[in-house]
Amino acid sequence: MRAINKIIIHCTATKEGLPVTVATVTAWHKQRGFITIGYHYLIGLNGEIWKGRNEREIGAHVSGNNSASIGICYVGGLDVNGRPKDTRTPAQKESLIKLLRELKEKYPNSTVLGHRDYSPDLNGNGIIEEWEWLKACPCFDAKNEYKNLK
């Protein structure tokens, strides 16, 4: 069993309303040289939670942070013009909370963060500010939205 201390949320960086499946993301990741999908879970537009990698397997979703983390990705993250936007549907939000609660029960010492929270703190002030993000993913403030989740 892996020692999990992080649950990291991602988005597919696809336009709002565009349906994406596990098979689609798996194909994208294989094109990048991954063995399979890098995430452990994917949440569809209708809130369906699909399994990706087995939780026992190390994911491929945040370089340098995969061995002790679970990766969750929701479909969306861009507006119709391709700019970052919180596109989560009500069903996705509900499913994400449900999944996070299950994972927090399983891994009680885990912290929930977004992929963008792993960007470098370029000015060294201890805060990852918007201008420092390597990417906007997951296009909402996961760290603060879920900090008190039980």
Residues with a catalytic annotation lie at 10, 39, 115, 135, 137
Say how far apart CA 135 and CA 116 lie, in whole Å. 6
* Bridge partner residues of 69 (DSSP): 6
Angle, vertex CA 128, rays to CA 123 and CA 129, nearest 5 = 85
Q: Report helix, strand or coil for 100.
A: helix
- 135 burial (CB, 10 Å; 0-12 / 13-18 / 19+) is middle
What size, in residues, is the chain? 150
Question: Buried b / exposed e across 14-47, counting CB within 10 Å, b at 16+?
Answer: bbbeeebebebbbeebeeeeeeebbbbbbbbbeb
